Structure 1
């Protein structure tokens, strides 16, 4: 019926005017559950941060032990050289022992950061640590306790330095550029001539 259509149209027009005057509804916040990958990334980030903090703590402690070990070993080494060199160079004589040690240690640190081996530098560090231990033990009184106390600073510095290098290599593990296992090659197929013969 025509009257019903006009009535429906006027109702729709009235509804459109009413809804136009209403304030706009804010959009609903999107619902998303935290995915497993997001929680894994957060856990990996926390583990990496903890790993770096532990490595930094190990670096500080190892540096303190190495410096303290050098200070303790300095006086016996200087006293050992007092009767063999002139008075002006006695104070610098321990550098002949700890100079190569420090340079080789820096070389090992650099190699560890570049994920390379440093066998030659490790040889220098172990050699001069042994020299420092033997010279300090030779200068100590002839009792086992004094000999152990004289050898301890150089030994502790070497052990702490080795553990520091382990921390660095664990913090940045080497990347594998090649696959661990080689792909097996398939045996050559036998041709029909070989199978017939």
Structure 2
């Protein structure tokens, strides 16, 4: 729920990116929209991620189409995730910095998540949400595109530089809160299984915790 909510917030917010209004920039923005929400057979990254979690036995408290307004979501998640959703909605429409920050980090956190969970659920890495992104370097391409487009805008409007950097920093701080919360969830799972015979689950959560801590996206303290 925490991860899907955070990802939903950025997927929704990207539709409101500023300064990309010329025909050429709109086309480049559209390609990113299509990668997220225009996959073959009416699929999307949201649906793919939900299926990946359900296929390993996860219970998702919200149906796919209940992921809508940020106000509704904020009533269902923890404080750190609420902060991230609020920041994404507010900053994505103000500058391109938050978009760059998230895209630059997304490949790292997806790999950390997939590798950690695959210890106990080896089939997860073959789910389209992960396999397609890794095979086609979708997140890396989005990061390159976000940086290239933002550089073009800043060359034309250098007065936006300070705001872009400031908002990128605010976005990464909010993202760190999400990962800190996920780390706490893992640690709670570790405490629940300590002293039991469920060695496989204990191994999975231990490795997940290690992956989260060593991922470049996680900056504790």
TM-score range, shorter chain: 0.3 to 0.5
If the length of structure 1 is used for normalisation, what is the TM-score? 0.36
TM-score by length of 2: 0.33
Rg: which structure is higher? Answer: 1
Bigger proportion of residues as helix: 2
